[in-house]
Each structure stands twice: as structure tokens, then as C-alpha cells.
A = this chain, B = another copy of it.
Amino acid sequence: MVFALANSEFDIIKKFLATPNLNFLRDGVELGIGDDAAIIKPPPDQNLVFSLDVLASGVHFPADAKPDVIARRALGVNLSDLAAMAADPLCFTLGLTIPEIKEDWIEQFTDGLSTLAREFNCPLVGGDLSSGQLQIAIQVHGLVPDGMATLRSGAQIGDSILVTGTLGDAAVALLGLGYESHLGSDFKLHGLADPQPLFERYFFPSPRVEFALGCRGLANAAIDISDGFVSDLSHVLRESRLGAEIEEAALPFSATAEACLSESMLTQACLNGGDDYELCLMVSQDSKDEVFEVAKNCDLSLCEVGIIEEIEGVRLKTRDGKMVAVNGDGYKHF
């Protein structure tokens, strides 16, 4: 059901969700909020790409997180999945369960959603609002021309492994916010540097949509980095039945992360920190320059961190020249 419009729900939906800020008009969307279902009409030469993510309070975000932060994370991580497929955002649905109706909370939540929805021209078209423990289910829908989606399975031997932005920032932010890290008790802040500049990197992931659309047809495979770089790269390698060699010295990190962590913990944050929502692209040598050009035009940093190889598994070439096997012990949901 597209928002059960009964009683108090009806009022909340009308006031906060079925608004021009969220349920706005967009080409391709035939029917939004207000019926049993939403309707879209993809153009004849396009595929519809969609991804559903659920964020639960106390699991995917701290129980006391601000509503606009939760909203922007929830929609942002989904848009990041679309970017990984080279799909152009079209619209999204929202399944929101909240313990009670607090108008202030809902207003801030929907304001946060609206910021990203407007930025990516991706209106809310339906969903479900009900009571229950706080959880946010969001499905985003995007369009990609026939055969142009970038899959995990397309990596080729000799492809460069490219990573946008910097890795490990969100893991440092979580430490700075006082939360325990899944990376263990050794993973802690080092020195006196202030991790505060990185909080936004955790709160407000930036889906790399513009870059991804610019790279259509240039990457052999792609994935977004959510669980952790090695863990996510391993999905690509598994689907492509290949392996990879990564250079420790090539891993991209921010100056703040560097100042906050010891050298070995910095590498750990880059490899397995998670919540980065950067893109990892597998690109042939022929296309590499063009992909770097796209990144430059998007004002986005891009690093070559390794190469796809025939032998399965992920090998890390350390700063002192040793080769060690690393595994994808990224974020474990259980």
C-alpha cells in the first residue's frame, strides 16, 4: 500500500510526505503518493535499476542520531548503490516505522530526505508509515540505458582498481563520536588530533552519482564501498572469479584520518572501516585516462589502488614491500 491513509497517518502523510518538497513531479513518474501503488513508465530503451536498504536504530545508526542525519544516510546509501550501477536516480519509496508520532522529529526527518531528493531529482512516490521500532526501509529506482549497467561480474585481468574520495573517514568519525568500532579495541584514536571534521563524512555520505554517470561505458565493473573496501572488492572478485593486488601506499585517506590514527590503524580503517560510500571501479588501461578526466570534471579525487589479477584472493603489498593476504572482514551485520 502506498501510505495507508488512515486517521493520524493520513494527516502526517499529507503534512510531511505528500508535499511538493518530496512528492514532486518528475518525468517518468506517472503516479506518486495516494493510491494502492505508485506507477512509473521507463523509456523504451532503458532498464529500471532498484535497490532496497533497511536501516535499523541501534544497528545502522546510533539510537540518538538526529532525524535529518538518519534520513540523509538512509537515502544516501541507496543512491550510492544506484551510482555503483551507473543508474540515474528516478524516484524512491519509504517504509518508515516509528514508535510514536512526534511532529518535530518527522519534520526534521523529511527535511533531510528532501535535501537529497531535490539534489538528485528523485521524488518520493510512495511507501508505508506505521508504528514499530524505528526502522527506515528505502528503495531507490534509477534508469540506465539497455546493457549499460556496471555489474560486479565484469572485472578483467589487468584492470586498474580505482577508488573515489578517501577511505576510513567514517570509521574515525564513529570513534570520535564515542562509539565502539567493529574493528576491535586496538582501533582507537591516536594523538591529539580532532576527528570532528570527519563527522560529516559519517553523517552525510555523498553518493557519487555525477561521476558514475560520467563513467558510463568506461568501467568493466563497479561496487560502492559500504561494508569496507576489501569486503566489497571481494564481492567483485567473487562474481568475476578473479583476484587483486592492492598497494598499501596507494590507499587514499584524509589528512584528518592520518592525524587521528597510527599508521597501521590507518591502513585498517582504509581496508575495513566501512561506511565510506565511495565507488570502487575496475577500469581497463585503455579507459583509465578518461575516467580520471571524468573525476577531475566532477572535482572528485580518484586513486589507483591496485590491479585485478587472475589468482583469487586479495593481496596487500605493504609499505615495506611485503605481500600479505587480506580478507574481507568488513562490517558483520550479525
Binding site for B on A (CB under 8 A): 1-2, 4-9, 30-31, 34-42, 44, 47-54, 56-60, 77, 81-82, 84-85, 87, 93-97, 100-101, 126-133, 135, 137, 139, 142, 144, 146, 149, 151-153, 222-224, 226-227, 231, 235, 238-239, 328-334
Contacts and interface: CB of A to CB of B under 8 A. Distances in A.
A256 B238 CA distance: 56
Copies of the chain in the assembly: 2
Contacts of A130: 54, 56, 59-60, 333
B34 A50 contact: no
Contacts of A52: 2, 93-95, 126-128, 137, 139
7 A-B pairs closest in CB distance: A56-B132, A137-B137, A54-B95, A37-B51, A44-B44, A36-B84, A133-B133
Nearest to A81: B36
Contacts of A31: 149, 151
A143 B87 CA distance: 21
B131 A132 contact: no
Given A53-B1, A334-B8, A47 B30 contact: yes
B334 A1 contact: no
Interface of A is mostly: mixed
21 contacts: A2-B51, A4-B227, A6-B227, A9-B333, A35-B151, A36-B224, A37-B49, A37-B85, A39-B48, A42-B48, A48-B48, A52-B93, A54-B135, A56-B97, A56-B131, A56-B135, A60-B130, A60-B132, A128-B137, A130-B333, A139-B139
A52 to B, nearest CB: 4
B56 A37 contact: no
A82 B37 contact: yes
A51 B1 contact: yes
Contacts of A97: 54, 56, 59, 135
Contacts of A39: 47-49, 85, 144, 149
A59 to B, nearest CB: 5
B132 A334 contact: no
Greatest chain B CB density within 10 A among A38, A39, A44 is at A39
B56 A6 contact: no
A333 B4 contact: yes
Contacts of A82: 36-37
Contacts of A95: 52-54, 95, 137
A113 to B, nearest CB: 15
Given A6-B330, A137-B54, A131 B59 contact: yes
B81 A132 contact: no
